[in-house]
Structure 1
Amino acid sequence: MQGTTALVIAAVLVVRGFAGADQHVVNGLGTAVWFVLIGGGVLAAGCALVAGKRWGRGLGVFTQLLLLPVAWYLTGGSHQPMFGIPIAIVALTVLALLFSPPTLRWVAGSGHRGPANATKPGPESR
């Protein structure tokens, strides 16, 4: 969801840039490139998690930890709680899910999808 949102924001910035929006204060096209790079990475991590790949979890945690100070600034420093509070709720919810017991059990496994074989001596290969 967050990666897709970043890509939508990038598209809006590109459209605004080509429509003639003022580029003196903020370069909308440059910001759009940044949103495409970051949003694409976050979207790839989300797709990896949905596909059962563990590498997406690290990027997901990192993204949520970066969004919490953004939410804090929007709520307090920028006085825009209508943006900051939903961002904080989403970031905290995703962090809670990424550190939930089922997720930690999934991460602790090494990819073996079946039950452990109790009859096999020696260390487990999963």
Structure 2
Amino acid sequence: MKAVSSQRKQLYKLFRYSKETEALHVRHITGCDDKTEAKELTASQAKQLIASLTTHWAYFDKNNQQHSYILSLLRQIGWTKSSERYGIIADMDRLSDFLKSKKSPVPKPLQNMDSTELSTLINCLESILGKKYGAK
């Protein structure tokens, strides 16, 4: 059974009406490079994708050194926000939105990434840092 209209409308909003983001997530959820549109999803795939995109993707494991380094990079890049309790902290919402976007090198939740995928994300964040400070 194909995804219903209400599911597709919700997905389009979550994709921010970007065809590239839509294609990225549809390919990822179906495992098929030929499928690039939400209308090609089954109802269960659409439900799974909606659940995935509405959850927070930036949960950290404090015992993982790569996760700690990503936190450090977020602060260096300036992806921070104020917290009454802790002062200036890394902006997890911004990282979650980035991981869900077409700009992310690994479009999946941080907790689901293996060490190779985390290295790819780290390289991307280091590149952003380098561009911010004019490194060549």
* TM-score under structure 2 length normalisation: 0.29
- Name the one with the larger strand percent: 2
- Name the one with the larger helix percent: 1
Whose radius of gyration is greater, 1 or 2?
1
* TM-score under structure 1 length normalisation: 0.31
The structure showing larger relative contact order (alpha-carbon pairs under 8 Å, at least 6 residues apart) is 2
